[in-house]
Amino acid sequence: MSSGEEDLKTRVIPVTGTSEDESGGAEICEALESLPVKPQERYRFIRSIGFGGMKSVLLVRDADTGREVAMAIMPDFRERPRRDLERFVREARLTAKLEHPNIVPVHDLGIDRSGSPYFTMKYLHGQSLASVLRRLRKGDPEATERFNLVRLLQIFIRICNAIEFAHSRGVGHFDLKPENVNIGEFGEVVVLDWGLARRFEQEDSDGRNKGTPGYMAPELITADGFPADARSDIYSLGGILYAMLALTNPLSRLPVEEVLRRTVTGELIPPSDASPEGRYVPGALEAICMKAMALEPGQRYGSVSELREDIFAFQTGYAPKAENASPLKHAGLFIGRNMFIVLILLTLILTGALLYLYFRYWQLAQMLESTGV
> Which has the higher per-residue pLDDT, 330 or 249?
249
**Residues 318 and 201 reside in one and the same domain:** yes
In whole angstroms, give the CA distance from residue 91 to residue 119. Answer: 9
12 part of a folded domain: no
Inside any domain, residue 225:
yes
Exposed, middle or buried: residue 241 (CB in 10 Å: 0-12, 13-18, 19+)? buried
Within a domain: residue 139? yes
Say whether both 325 and 300 belong to one domain.
yes
pLDDT at position 372: 66
Cα(269)–Cα(316) distance, integer angstroms: 27
Number of domains in the chain: 3
pTM score, whole prediction: 0.83
Same domain, 106 and 226: no
* Residue of 84, 108, 175, 193 with catalytic role: 175
Domain ranges, residue 364: 338-370
Strands (E), the chain: 11-14, 43-52, 55-62, 68-73, 106-111, 117-122, 127-128, 171-172, 181-183, 189-191, 198-199, 208-211
Alpha-carbon distance of 264 to 216, in angstroms, equals 10
Calculate the alpha carbon distances from 103 to 51, 90, 241 in Å: 19, 16, 19
Is residue 71 within 8 Å of 79, Cβ to Cβ?
no
Which burial class, exposed, middle or buried, applies to 175 when counting CB atoms under 10 A from its CB (0-12, 13-18, 19+)?
Answer: buried
First to last CA, the chain: 83
What is the CATH number for 114? 3.30.200.20
pLDDT in tens, 26-81: 445 666 777 888 877 889 999 998 877 678 899 999 999 999 999 999 888 888 88
61 DSSP β-pair partners: 44, 68
Q: Are residues 257 and 343 in the same domain?
A: no
CATH of the domain at 276: 1.10.510.10
- Residues 215-246 have pLDDT tens digits of 999 998 886 656 789 999 999 999 999 999 99
Asked whether residue 351 is assigned to any structural domain, the reply reads yes
Q: Is residue 15 part of a domain?
A: no
53 and 146 together in one domain: no
| Between residues 11 and 69, the one the model is more confident about | 69
Instruction: Mark whether 89 and 229 lie in a shared domain.
Output: no
Beta-ladder partners of 127: 183
Is 334 strand, coil or helix? helix
3-class DSSP state of 349: helix
CA dihedral angle for residue 98, residue 194, residue 227, residue 235, rounded to 10 degrees:
-100
Is 14 within a domain? no
Q: Which amino acid is at 254?
A: L
Cα→Cα distances 295→221, 300, 320, 337, Å: 12, 8, 20, 34
Whether 349 and 326 share a structural domain: no
Q: Tens of pLDDT along 321-353?
A: 887 766 767 676 767 776 778 788 888 888 888
Q: 86 falls in which pLDDT band (50, 70, 90)?
A: confident
Active site residue 7: no
Chain center to CA of 20 = 31
What is the pairing mode between strands 198-199 and 171-172?
antiparallel
Q: What is the DSSP letter of 125?
A: P
- The answer to whether residues 238 and 100 belong to one domain is no
Q: Where a domain ends, among 76, 95, 122?
A: 122
Average pLDDT of the chain, as a whole number: 86
Judgement on whether residues 211 and 112 belong to the same structural domain of the protein: no
Same domain for 299 and 342, yes or no, is no
Residues 54 and 87 in one domain: yes
CB 89 within 8 A of CB 97: no
pLDDT digits (tens, 9 = 90+) for 131-158: 999 999 999 999 999 999 999 999 999 9
Measured at the CA of 325, the angle between CA 156 and CA 236, to 5 degrees, comes to 30
Give the Cβ contact number of residue 60 at 10 Å.
Answer: 22
Instruction: Using the 3D structure, point to which of 77, 96, 122 is the last residue of a domain.
Output: 122
The answer to whether residue 16 sits within a structural domain is no
Judge residue 357's burial from the number of C-beta atoms within 10 Å of its C-beta, 0-12 exposed, 13-18 middle, 19 or more buried.
exposed
Single out the residue in 74, 96, 122 at which a domain terminates: 122
The reply to whether 273 and 241 lie within a common domain is yes
Q: What are phi and psi of 172, to 5 degrees?
A: -105, 145
Separation of alpha carbons 169 and 276, rounded Å? 39
In a domain, 224, yes or no: yes
